[in-house]
Amino acid sequence: MSEFLQQLVNGVTWGSVYALIALGYTMVYGILRLINFAHGDVYMLGAFFAYFASRALGAATDPNPGKALLVLVISMLAAGAVGIVIERFAYKPVRKSSRLSALITAIGVSLLLENGGILVFGSDPKFFPQIITARNIPLGLGVTISNQQIIILVVSLALMFALRFIVLQTRVGKAMRAVSYNPTAAALMGISVDRIVTFTFMLGSMLAAAAGVLVALQNPKIEPLMGIMPGLKAFVAAVLGGIGNIPGAVLGGLVMGIAEVMVVGYVSPTYRDAIAFVLLIVILLVRPAGILGKATAEKV
């Protein structure tokens, strides 16, 4: 029982990271109907930005929460800027062409970030400095949680609530929802679709960067290709929850994280990468639009 609870704690932590990445996928998809394949690589960049920021700030030699927070903010801002640049120079020119050419462009950007990362950062893994001293806290019933896991949970929850606030309570959030619902009508109502798209990319990239930093805290080995698998699985999580649906992305992320940790714990670690997809196929066969997605009838 205690082992199960321990796995559950680990699963929820891991799932909240997936949820953060999945949010970016789902927002971009909701607005542009584009699978942003480069999103996983923005997550990788987030970890690297934090690596350089913490070295520049000396956060490794003198770990304190203030510096760690600053590292997180710097990394999120830098990744947000990268998101804007990617959108402007790669995605905007193909927005009017077919969705497939946009997809191939996204794949091109993803390859560019990965190989550019290898070129700039080197292909060997870097050791992410311990900007928070690790400590284990017993929760009773034989379950322990590390302070890093607590940070992951708290930060991701805070970011999810911030996102919820932006999307539901602010003017720009209202515009995002409008563009997602119908871009043409939104443009006719005086919303600058271009700016909303850019804003969405920035927001998504910031969340991905935060996920990158949080993961690097726990697994301190970072390398330029680290974003491929988490990116792919976070996308699967977004589809699982119903792509384009924000609560769905969080739910999908959690389901995915828990399922994965359980498979590693009880079945075999080697099947870890397969479970995500098995789960996906099973759920999509039962609910073709994802768990929270609404099935849309096709208009003729």
Partner 1 sequence: MKHVLGIVVSLGVLVALDIVLPRLLNPYLFQVLVLCGINVILAVSLNLVNGFTGQFSIGHAGFMAIGAYGSAMFSLEIGQRWVTTLGALGVPPVIAQGAALLVALLAGGALAAVAGYLVGLPSLRLRGDYLAIVTLGFGEIIRVVILNVDAIGAARGLPGIPGWVNFFWVGFWVLIVIVVSRRLAASTHGRALFAIRDDEVAAEALGVDTTSYKVLAFVMGAFFAGVAGGLFAHYLSYLNPNSFTFLKSIEVIAMVVLGGMGSISGAVMAAVLLTLAPELLRPVKDYRMVIYSLMLIVLMITRPGGLMGSREIGWPRFLRRAKAEHA
Instruction: Provide the binding-site residues for partner 1, judged by CB under 8 A.
Output: 29, 33, 35, 90, 93-94, 97-98, 100-105, 107-112, 114-116, 118-119, 228, 232, 235-236, 239, 243, 268, 270-271, 273-274, 276-278, 280-281, 284-285, 288-290, 298, 300
The sign one gets for the Cα dihedral 192, 195, 199, 200 is positive
Element (DSSP H or E) covering residue 145: strand 143-146
Rounded CA separation 49/113 (Å) = 13
Q: Which is nearer to partner 1, 105 or 146 (CB)?
A: 105
Cβ atoms of 140 and 9 within 8 Å: the answer is: no
Residue type, 68: A
Task: Indicate the DSSP class of residue 88.
Answer: I
For 271, other C-beta atoms within 10 Å of its C-beta total 12
3-class SS at 275? Answer: helix
Supply the minimum distance, in Å, between the C-beta of residue 211 and partner 1: 20
DSSP three-state, residue 300? coil
Q: How far is the CB of 223 from partner 1 (least distance, A)?
A: 15
* Closer residue to partner 1 in complex, CB, 38/50: 38
Q: Considering the complex, state which of residue 32 and residue 50 has its C-beta at the smaller distance from partner 1.
A: 32
Q: Which is nearer to partner 1, 203 or 279 (CB)?
A: 279
Whose Cβ is closer to partner 1: residue 64's or residue 268's? 268
Q: Where are the beta strands (DSSP E) in the chain?
A: 126-127, 136-140, 143-146, 221-222
CA–CA distance, 290 with 225 (Å, rounded to integer) = 28
| Best CA proximity match to 40, nearest among 276, 270, 236 | 236
Pick 101 or 136: Cβ nearer partner 1: 101
Smallest gap from Cβ 132 to partner 1, in A, equals 33
Nearer to partner 1, 98 or 133 (CB): 98
Tokens standing for residue 226: 């680290």
- Distance in Å, CB of 154 to partner 1, minimum: 31
251-214-220 Cα angle (round to 5): 130
CA–CA separation, 32 and 42 (whole Å): 18
Report the DSSP beta bridge partners of residue 126. Answer: 222
- Our CB check for partner 1 shows the closer of 116 and 247 to be 116
